[in-house]
């Protein structure tokens, strides 16, 4: 995400975090959920992230669901 300035800047603005905080908390599930949730907001961001990671976009959706846990699922 940091390699895509518009996405990165929007995440920092929306989260209230700074780059140092994001790096320090990158391994924490809460930060991972926040970052992935942010990327999932835009189809272009999802495709770019998936391409950068070398995974299908569907894997990002699966990861988001797993990070959210049972309480985050909404099937309606």
Q: 4 pLDDT band (50/70/90 cuts)?
A: confident
Q: What is the pLDDT of residue 73?
A: 57
Query: Does the pLDDT at position 3 exceed 90?
Result: no
Domain of 16, in residue numbers: 5-68
13: in domain: yes
Tokens of 55: 């995974």
11: in domain: yes
Structural domain total, the chain: 1
Non-local (6+) Cβ contacts of 5 within 8 A are: none
42: in domain: yes
Q: What is the pLDDT of residue 34?
A: 92
pLDDT digits (tens, 9 = 90+) for 37-74: 999 999 999 999 999 999 999 999 899 888 887 665 55
Query: Does the pLDDT at position 23 exceed 70?
Result: yes
CA distance 56 to 23: 25
């Amino acid at each position: 995400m940091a390699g895509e300035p518009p996405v990165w800047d929007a995440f920092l603005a929306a989260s209230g975090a700074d780059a140092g905080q994001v790096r320090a908390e990158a391994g924490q599930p809460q930060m991972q959920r926040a970052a992935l949730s942010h990327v999932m907001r835009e189809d272009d961001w999802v495709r770019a992230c998936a391409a950068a990671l070398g995974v299908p976009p569907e894997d990002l959706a699966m990861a988001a669901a797993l990070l959210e846990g049972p309480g985050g699922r909404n099937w309606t």
